[in-house]
């Protein structure tokens, strides 16, 4: 088997592409058939004998129920998290975290011996893989909501900040998926076209907000090449006959030396994003609570604020992110109840490097996020 050859070369993780479609059965859609699970289990059993250090990573861009069904010690110990990715973009468009919060409460937890692989962008398109059942529980019509998201991210919706491109648009059903770099999808391209410094600031904050969640919520965070520099869409693919019919090339951007050097030039988008991503990595590495600790999703009774908690030993960390361009606030008393702390306890915001007191309401700026750390015995 080729995987054994690669394992002998030192490869330890194998990505199983389109795993949900590996079982083919006549008369069905050949999606999520029992044979797919049997095949992966057999492959897992063989590698456990011949190459026990090898583990598998699932790539299943299907209904969330089926995504989770491939995650286990017996099948794939790692899995891409397409639901988190899609709903981060959904929350940015709606400025409302209710679907993100609801879905993560119900679907984020997986067995302790497994882990999510979290991502914001990838070489592929964005598909709206949320559960229609989850959406219906919040009085959201799944089909209509996908139509809104598609129009928002291709820039056709009033008030959209995005400059994305449609992928595999079906004019009969309205179905499509979205392509574009994080920077272009979060408003940087529009901001530069209109010379709007506020929107430029917001774009950087939107990207950093999402990458912060990817880094801290639990699992293995990925960085898509170019996002650490805030690169824009590359439309030159339209001039290449072999690429022009595949809009995914718009975000498969090459990086030249001149652009790379801008990361060292203060005041550039490249520098700001590079420093932000570097800080997120350093912070992730410095706090044990971002490791194997359980993740608890919290409801702050504010539709703009997404919140989750992590803990390890005597340390508790609370992430709060504002998904809107409006100032908002959260009750300090509410946060004290979540953290089970006293009014005298002082928290450190690891991102802003400032101390936070919870005796009053906590004000949060547009697209700002806080990483609040409470360490027992930290009252000062």
Distance CA 254, CA 294 (A): 38
Q: Which residues pair with 80 in a beta bridge?
A: 117
Tokens for 277?
């991503």
- Nearest by Cα to 167 from 122, 212, 199, 112: 122
Catalytic center residues: 17, 59
Asked whether 372 and 320 are in contact (CB, 8 A), the reply is yes
Structure token pair of residue 265: 């030039």
C-alpha distances in angstroms, 296 versus 101, 105, 311? 10, 8, 9
Beta bridge mates, 330: 362
Collect all residues with Cβ–Cβ distance below 8 Å to 321 and sequence separation of at least 6: 209, 212, 213, 305, 306, 307, 367, 368, 369, 370
CB 28 within 8 A of CB 21: no
Q: How many CB atoms lie within 10 A of CB 380?
A: 7
The Cβ of residue 376 has, within 10 Å, a number of other Cβ atoms equal to 11
- Give the CA angle between residues 196, 199, 203 to the nearest 5°: 135
Kindly state the tokens that stand for 123: 């070489």
Calpha distance 264→86 (Å, rounded):
32
Measured CA to CA in angstroms, residue 70 lies from 16, 19, 76, 193, 228 at distances of 11, 8, 6, 44, 31
Residue 326: which H helix or E strand, with range?
Answer: none
The beta-strand segments (E) located in 72-192 are 78-80, 115-118, 165-167, 177-179
């Amino acid at each position: 088997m080729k995987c054994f050859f690669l394992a002998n070369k030192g490869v330890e993780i194998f990505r199983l592409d389109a795993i949900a479609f590996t079982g083919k059965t006549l008369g069905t859609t050949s999606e999520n058939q029992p044979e797919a699970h049997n095949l992966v289990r057999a492959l897992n059993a063989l590698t456990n004998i011949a190459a026990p250090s090898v583990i598998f990573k699932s790539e299943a861009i299907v209904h969330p129920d089926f995504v989770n069904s491939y995650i286990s010690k017996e099948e794939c110990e790692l899995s891409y998290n397409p639901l988190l990715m899609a709903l981060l973009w959904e929350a940015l468009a709606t400025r409302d975290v209710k679907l993100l919060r609801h879905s993560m409460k119900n679907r984020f937890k997986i067995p302790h011996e497994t882990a999510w692989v979290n991502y914001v962008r990838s070489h592929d398109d964005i598909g709206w893989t949320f559960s229609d059942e989850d959406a219906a529980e919040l009085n959201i019509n799944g089909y209509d909501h996908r139509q809104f998201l598609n129009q928002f991210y291709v820039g056709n919706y009033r008030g959209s900040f995005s400059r994305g491109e449609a992928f595999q648009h079906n004019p009969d059903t309205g179905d499509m998926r979205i392509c574009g770099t994080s920077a272009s999808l979060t408003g940087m391209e529009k901001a530069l076209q209109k010379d709007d410094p506020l929107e430029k600031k917001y774009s950087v904050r939107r990207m950093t907000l999402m990458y912060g969640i990817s880094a801290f919520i639990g699992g293995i965070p990925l960085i898509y090449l170019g996002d650490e520099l805030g690169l824009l869409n590359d439309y030159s693919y339209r001039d290449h006959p072999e690429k022009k019919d595949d809009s995914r090339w718009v975000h498969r951007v090459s990086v030249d030396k001149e652009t790379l050097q801008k990361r060292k030039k203060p005041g550039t988008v490249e520098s700001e994003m590079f420093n932000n991503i570097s800080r997120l990595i350093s912070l992730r590495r410095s706090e044990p609570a971002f490791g194997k600790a359980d993740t608890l999703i919290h409801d702050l009774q504010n539709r703009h604020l997404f919140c989750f908690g992590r803990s390890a030993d005597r340390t508790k960390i609370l992430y709060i992110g504002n998904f809107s361009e409006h100032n908002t606030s959260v009750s300090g008393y509410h946060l004290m109840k979540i953290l089970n702390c006293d009014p005298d306890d002082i928290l450190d915001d690891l991102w802003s490097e400032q101390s936070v007191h919870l005796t009053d309401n906590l004000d949060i700026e547009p697209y700002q996020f806080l990483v609040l750390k409470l360490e027992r015995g930290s009252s000062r």
